[in-house]
Amino acid sequence: MQSSSSSSRIGTLITFVGAALSILGLFLSMFIESNPQVPGSAHPVYEWQAVTSFPSSIVWLGYIFAALPLLGMLIVLVSSGAALLGITIPRLILLQRVAAGWGLTLQILLSIFVFMLYLIGYDHIDIASGFVVLPIGFVVMLIGTWSGTLRIQTILTPLTCIFLAIGSVILSLGWLNDGSFFRMFSAVFILLPVMFLVGEFGLLIAKQWITAALVLPLVMLTLYGLYFLLGFIIPGVPGTIFIALLIVLNATVLWLTLRLRHLPEASKDASYP
């Protein structure tokens, strides 16, 4: 009993640290923008400044995408602080998991969209600390909400394989159709988010809480992370390598999922010779 209480307190502390880290990221610059032709023109760009630079027709969407992760941070920060002080909140863990999972996904979408938006133009863009600290804070939050109950079998499920495969097909077809990471706008910012929203809606109706709050956000993080890594962090990577890595990733996840599903059966057979 004492061990369970200690584990719960550690998870709450990790969640609190993740929320604080995310809020810190809001005060760090996302990018350093400069004009190569103007010496000394480098200046930081913060998230709230980046949102206001959205085209007027969709600036409302930017405000929503910026406000929802912030709301998730505040929910997790306040609820974790209350739990550390011994204040009981009904369905606290479920609330934190939903806030952290949705916040992580929306923050990734917003960061990548803003980055691609700023690439359009003649100014030079460098990634700054806020671009990295914000999603890391959400990842720490998500880990904290599942500490003590998180098992690899919880993440690697048939639904994980299905969502990963659908997302990989979307990204692969997007690159084959556009031939460039910079032109994959519809695949990255329309089709993948639609898959996420439809998937979340279906999972919530089916009461698949773990998959909705943990697995699907992690799948989106993996897909966007791979896309962003090969498209912008390591420039010049051929699209064929991108598609090959998606195939390897799906094959590895499927193999691990099948292997983990067979482990209990093998253990049961060994118990009854």
Q: What is the pLDDT of residues 215-232, one digit of tens each?
A: 888 888 888 888 877 776
Nearest to 170 by CA among 156, 154, 158, 187: 187
> 108 and 209 in one domain?
no
Give the pair of three-digit tokens for residue 154: 């919880």
The pLDDT tens digits for 25-76 are 888 888 888 877 777 778 888 888 888 877 777 788 888 888 888 888 888 8
* Statement: the pTM of the whole predicted model exceeds 0.85: no
Q: From CA 72, how far away is CA 19, in angstroms rounded?
A: 9
> 165 and 85 in one domain?
no
Backbone angles phi, psi at 74, to 5 degrees: -65, -40
> 140 and 44 in one domain?
yes
Q: From CA 11, how far away is CA 83, in angstroms rounded?
A: 11
Residues 128-157: what's their mean pLDDT? 79
Instruction: Determine how β-strand 31-34 pairs with β-strand 43-45.
Output: antiparallel
Final residue of a domain: which of 148, 167, 197?
148
Q: Domain total for the chain?
A: 2
- In this prediction, what percent of the chain has a pLDDT beyond 90? 11
Determine whether 231 is exposed, middle or buried from the number of CB atoms within 10 Å of its CB (0-12, 13-18, 19+): buried
Q: Is 45 helix (H, G, I), strand (E, B) or coil?
A: strand
Nearest to 98 by CA among 80, 120, 76: 76
> 231 and 163 in one domain?
yes
Final residue of a domain: which of 148, 174, 198?
148
Determine whether 271 is exposed, middle or buried from the number of CB atoms within 10 Å of its CB (0-12, 13-18, 19+): exposed
- Report whether pLDDT(22) > 70: yes
Token pair 């609190």: residue? 16
Give the pair of three-digit tokens for residue 158: 């048939």
H-type alpha helices, 147-215: 152-155, 158-178, 185-186, 192-205, 209-210
Token pair 């031939």: residue? 179
pLDDT: which is higher, 170 or 9: 170
- Report whether pLDDT(149) > 70: no
> 242 and 107 in one domain?
no
- Report whether pLDDT(272) > 50: no
Quick one: how many helices (H) and strands (E) in the chain?
A: 12, 3
> 174 and 135 in one domain?
no
- Report whether pLDDT(212) > 50: yes
- Report whether pLDDT(181) > 50: yes
> 92 and 161 in one domain?
no
> 180 and 57 in one domain?
no
Final residue of a domain: which of 103, 129, 148?
148
Strand order in the sheet with 124-127: 43-45, 31-34, 124-127
> 175 and 136 in one domain?
no
246 neighbors 172 (Cβ within 8 angstroms): yes
> 131 and 4 in one domain?
yes
Residues 91-115: what's their mean pLDDT? 79
Q: What mean pLDDT value characterizes the chain?
A: 80
Question: pLDDT class for 190, splitting at 50, 70, 90?
Answer: confident
Q: From CA 179, how far away is CA 168, in angstroms rounded?
A: 16
CB atoms within 10 A of CB 118: 17
Domain span at residue 173? 151-273
